[in-house]
Amino acid sequence: KNQVEQSPQSLIILEGKNCTLQCNYTVSPFSNLRWYKQDTGRGPVSLTIMTFSENTKSNGRYTATLDADTKQSSLHITASQLSDSASYICVVSARGSQGNLIFGKGTKLSVKP
């Protein structure tokens, strides 16, 4: 069964610190992996998209990595800000799946002053 697992479920860090969120997937055949940020009460917003051949993708202070061999991805947030408090969702797409994305349950990040 195609699945996406994220860890940790929740994380609290101090403003200015770095953190790394994890995503493991069992989706096959793999097409691409996306990271989204979802603020409370809002819709998800795209951060990065990576294909099989891409190892790293950055978007400002967000850097996503992908290891297609081990089926793992991580999202690294550098110099965190209060506005980074949100849920971060890993989303994987399988080839031939058309509209069906597989969403992780998300990691809820709280950045404290």
Partner 1 sequence: DAGITQSPRHKVTETGTPVTLRCHQTENHRYMYWYRQDPGHGLRLIHYSYGVKDTDKGEVSDGYSVSRSKTEDFLLTLESATSSQTSVYFCAISDRWAESSGNTIYFGEGSWLTVV
Site residues (CB under 8 A) for partner 1? 4, 31-32, 34, 36, 41-46, 49-51, 89, 93-106
Closest distance to partner 1 from the beta carbon of 18 (Å):
25
Residue that the structure tokens 């055949």 belong to: 29
Residue 15 or 39 with smaller CB distance to partner 1: 39
Closest distance to partner 1 from the beta carbon of 25 (Å):
11
Q: How many residues does the chain have?
A: 113
Closest distance to partner 1 from the beta carbon of 78 (Å):
22
Residue 46 or 110 with smaller CB distance to partner 1: 46
Q: How far apart are CA 94 and CA 35, in angstroms?
A: 15
Which residues, listed in sequence order, are joined to residue 14 by a DSSP beta bridge? 112
Of the candidates 85, 82, 101, 83, the residue with the CA atom closest to the CA atom of residue 93: 101
Rg (C-alpha) for the chain, rounded Å, is 14
Closest distance to partner 1 from the beta carbon of 16 (Å):
28
Residue 77 or 106 with smaller CB distance to partner 1: 106
Residue 43 or 113 with smaller CB distance to partner 1: 43
DSSP string, 89-105: EEEEEETT-TT-EEE--
